[in-house]
Every structure is written in structure tokens, then in C-alpha cells.
Structure 1
Amino acid sequence: MKKRILLGIGLLSVFMFLTGCSEIKKPITSESSGFWNEYIVYPLSWLIKEGAHILGGSFGLSIIVVTILIRLAILPLMIKQTRSSKAMQALQPEMAELKKKYSSKDQKTQQKLQQETMALFSKHGVNPMAGCFPLIVQMPILIGFYHAISRTREIASDNFLWFDLGDKDPYYILPIVAGITTFIQQKIMMAGQDQNPQMAMMLWMMPIMIVVFAFSFPAALSLYWVVGNIFMIVQTYFIKGPDLKAAKASGNAGGAKK
């Protein structure tokens, strides 16, 4: 979990760096060159524009539909992430035993602990990095969305509901909703898991970072984040249904004892 926190911070830092690149001011067209422009930014820009054409010219609705399509496309990864998290949770007692067995801090003992831990993962078919992979996949899409919105005049100049897609939300409603839905989504993801200080920190830190960043981002990007989070909440609820019921029952039992 600690590694996931550091990875999340690192990717968000890269995101902030990339969004400040000078290329952000260059309009994106079919003639734009380079791997990033040809395979990430322009396809997203084209997809949003085509969606708006089908949906009566509404780029806001198009962003919602495209977001759902993207979430459906990476759904297998998210299911794998959830299964990996459950598998890791099931291995916690055995991992605790290994740490107890190899408690010495000398290099030789720690190497042995690492070998035994990796053998345990291999035995049960668990990939400790599987939980981070969806985040790695989503970050280029998020950055690509930012570029597609900012570098496509038709999108940036359009409005939806109470906000202009290319400008920040004047009432800061979307950034706050983005933070709240991020919190809810993480809370559901962590249901049924043993809580520790790192997980508690992650639960609060990520939503706060999302809100802070979203305050200065185009409202269209916050819209993408909110819709994606709502999709994730529904998806996680159905995938982790038994765990959520078990966590709720445990909580009710604990309350009854008090």
C-alpha cells in the first residue's frame, strides 16, 4: 500500500509536469506528429468530436459517453485489480508469519524474506503490482483528455450545464464532487480489508489532491473524473458485493456489542 501511495503521488506529479508542457498551446489535428499526439491525444479528440456530432452537438454529453466507453474498455483490468487485492488480503496472515520468521534486519535475512514472499506470491498466482497497473494505464488517458480538451477549440469553447468545458468550474462544484466520489470509491475498494495507517492516509490524501488539482483544471476534465468515479463506484459495488455485506455485518456486530 505504501508503494501504491508513492506511485500515485509520482504519477500525479508527472501529470502536473506534462500539463505544463509548451505543446499544450498547439492545436491538435490529424496532421499533428509524434506518438503522443497520433495515438493518444488526437484519437481522444476525434472520439469526443464524433460523439458530439452524434449527440446533437453536445460535447459535455460526448465526454460522458466517451468516459464510460473508456471505463468499459479497461474494465477487465479493474476486475483483475480487485481480485488481486482480495488475493493479497487473503495472504496477509502468511506474510505476517514470514515477517515474524525473518524478523532480523540484516541483509541476508531480508533477502531470504523477499525470496520467500515472492515464492508465496508465485504459489498463489498473485502479482503484487497488479493493483498499481490500472492506475498506470489511466494516467496517460487522463493527461490525453486534458490535452484533447485544451487543444481542440470546438471542445474548449463549448459549454455544458453551468460551466464552460475549457475553463475551470466557476462554482467549484465538479472538483468537490470529484473529491467526494474519489473518497467513496476508495472506501468501497478498501471494504473488508484490514485498515492500517498507510491505507487511512491514502483514503484521505488522494481525494484532497484531486480537489486541489481540479480547482485549476478545465471543467471537462473534472467531468471526466466524476463520471469515471461514479462508474467505478457502481462497478466496485457489484464486484465486491460479498465483501461489502460482510464488512457491514461486522460493523453492525461491533456496534451491537458496544
Structure 2
Amino acid sequence: MNIILEMFNNILRIGFSITKDWGISIILLTILLRFLLLPLSFKQRMSILKQGEISKKIEETKIKYKNDKAKLDEELMKHYKESSKSMFGCFTLILQLPILSALYYTIQRMPADVGTILIPWVSSLKLPDRYFIVPLLYSLISVSPNLISYIGILKPYGSEVKNLGFNMISMMVISIIITIKAPVSIGIYFIASGVFTLFEEIAFRLYQRYLNTVKA
């Protein structure tokens, strides 16, 4: 962990030497990390998508062979084996946690007690935003991947958009709770990461739609 912390500290300082702003340096470090984690994130998304397809197959199999228990058990076993294989991709999220924790720890222990041009109304990156603009902004960004589901070309392919109101409200509340007392340096990290997630989600849905178009 110390090696990762040292690496992040060095990258953060290099970013500051170029931009002369710690807030922008945090954004650059966050984007760099997210790019490095893209292969793992993509694999995770594909695994989740695969799990959804298998769940549909299982439900269809239960209906198709409801009167033939032997055949039903045989077909379900095949789907469960396929499901167990695809689940390994979901574990890539666990591999990301130590790296993300190290990044969070690095930002939290920033030596500089200065502000940033990105949030001029806060005098120090170590202070929370007393106007609550950062928490509100992060809460909106956190639900943006759900909001794009209502855009025609970005709807989840092959599935209907369900009522996401309760989920989005829950996410917004949690996002505000996480950042309302946190230093703005952490808020900048969460916002930058959230924006990256949004563009990553858009790219993945377009790629998913392209694959299904090619198959058709």
C-alpha cells in the first residue's frame, strides 16, 4: 500500500507542477487512475450484462420445462455453471477497492493547505464546502448514469426503463451524506470520478448497442 501511496503522491505533485493548482491535479490523477482501471471496469460491466442474460434464460427454462423436472434440473444446471463462470468478472470491483482507497487516502493527506480555482469560494482544500455546492453537484452527477436511460439511443438494449425515482433519490441522499462534511479535495475526486463513470457508461451502452446490431 505504501508503494501505491508514494506513486499517487508523486503523480499529484507532478500534476501540480504543471497546472499550479492542486484541485486540477486531483482531477488529472483521478482520470489517469480511471483510465488504468478501464479494462477491469469493462470486464465487470460485461459480467453484469451476462448475468442478466442468464437470469432471463433461467426464467424461460423454468416455464418451458415446468412439467419435466428431470429436464428442468439438467438445463438449470447448465445455466448455473455458466453463471458461476461469468460471476468472476464481477469480482474485478473488489480488486479496484485497494487502489481507490489509496487514492482517497493520498488526497486526504495532501500537504497543501490552499484553495483551488475550481472552487474559489472555499479557502482550503481541507475544508468542507459550507455552501453545499460540491455535495449537491456530486449528488446530481451520481444519478446521471440513470438519467441517460431515458435517452433513446442510450437506453439499456433489450430492456425497458423502469421507474428509477426511488433509486435516484436514495443515491442523491447518500452522495450528499458522503460529501457534506468531507474536505472539498475529496469532493473534487468524487465529482471527477462520477463524470468519468458517466462517459464510461455512455460509451459502454453505445458499444452494447453496436454489438447487438451486428448480431442482428
TM-score interval for Structure 1 and Structure 2 normalised by the shorter chain: 0.7 to 0.9
Alignment check: 8 A CA contact 1:188 1:244 kept: no
Residue by residue, what CA displacement relative to the aligned partner does 1:62-113 show, whole Å, maximum 9, x if unpaired? 111111101110111122122223322322321213556899xxxxxxx999
Matched residue pairs, number?
194
Which residue matches 1:241?
A: 206
Which residue matches 2:188?
A: 223
Residue by residue, what CA displacement relative to the aligned partner does 1:33-62 show, whole Å, maximum 9, x if unpaired? xxx3x133332222211210122x211111
Which residue matches 2:33?
A: 70
Distance change (3 Å), C-alpha of 1:211 and 1:142:
farther
Give the CA deviation at 1:220.
Answer: 1.0
Q: Report whether the alignment pairs 1:121 with 2:83.
A: yes
Q: Which runs of 5+ in 2 are unaligned?
A: 67-72, 150-154, 211-216
1:41-190 → structure 2 map (5 Å cutoff): 41-55=5-19, 57-98=20-61, 115-121=77-83, 127-131=86-90, 133-134=92-93, 136-154=94-112, 157-160=113-116, 161-162=119-120, 163=122, 164-188=124-148
Give the CA deviation at 1:173.
Answer: 1.3
Alignment check: 8 A CA contact 2:135 2:175 kept: yes
Hey, what's the Cα distance between the residues in 2 that align with 1:83 and 1:51? 33
Hey, what's the Cα distance between the residues in 2 that align with 1:188 and 1:128? 26
Distance change (3 Å), C-alpha of 1:224 and 1:96:
same
Q: Report whether the alignment pairs 1:208 with 2:170.
A: no
Hey, what's the Cα distance between the residues in 2 that align with 1:112 and 1:207? 44
Distance change (3 Å), C-alpha of 1:72 and 1:42:
same
Residue by residue, what CA displacement relative to the aligned partner does 1:113-162 show, whole Å, maximum 9, x if unpaired? 9854432336xxx522524533x3443344323322332322xx121132
Task: Give the % identical residues.
Answer: 21
Considering only aligned residues, what root-mean-square deviation do their CA atoms show, in Å? 3.3
Q: Which amino acid in 2 is paired with 1:83?
A: M
Hey, what's the Cα distance between the residues in 1 that align with 2:165 and 2:49? 18
TM-score, normalised relative to structure 2: 0.73
Alignment check: 8 A CA contact 1:182 1:206 kept: yes
Q: Which amino acid in 2 is paired with 1:65?
A: L
Q: Which amino acid in 1 is paired with 2:205?
A: K
Hey, what's the Cα distance between the residues in 2 that align with 1:147 and 1:235? 24
